[in-house]
Amino acid sequence: MFHSNLLKTINSATNLEISDSRKLILKELVKYINSKKALKSEVHLNFVCTHNSRRSQFCQIWAETASAYYNKKTYCYSGGFW
């Protein structure tokens, strides 16, 4: 399903350490996604960066990749602007 190089990067990323402070922030995102899934609602994620639109685009790409990897359908958007 994934190109071998992308799969290597994904597997590498799943082994990265995440700080406790970051985990707290990410828990809110996980809670939101799980609540939408429990209600059988679509999950829409919009990533916004106010200083560099490329960061929001990378977030969109990686969220879409994680969605496919974990088989959790989400709709991801980039709303970055300069």
Do residues 13 and 43 lie in contact, with contact meaning Cβ atoms separated by under 8 Å? Answer: no
Nearest to 45 by CA among 29, 31, 66: 29
> In the prediction, which pLDDT does 53 show?
67
For the chain (82 residues), the mean pLDDT of every run of 10, in chain order, is 93 95 94 95 91 84 94 90 60
- The pLDDT assigned to 10 comes to 95
Number of other residues whose CB lies within 10 A of the CB of residue 45: 18
Decide: 80 and 48 in contact? Cβ < 8 Å.
Answer: yes
- Which candidate, 31, 45, 48, places its Cα nearest to that of 74? 45
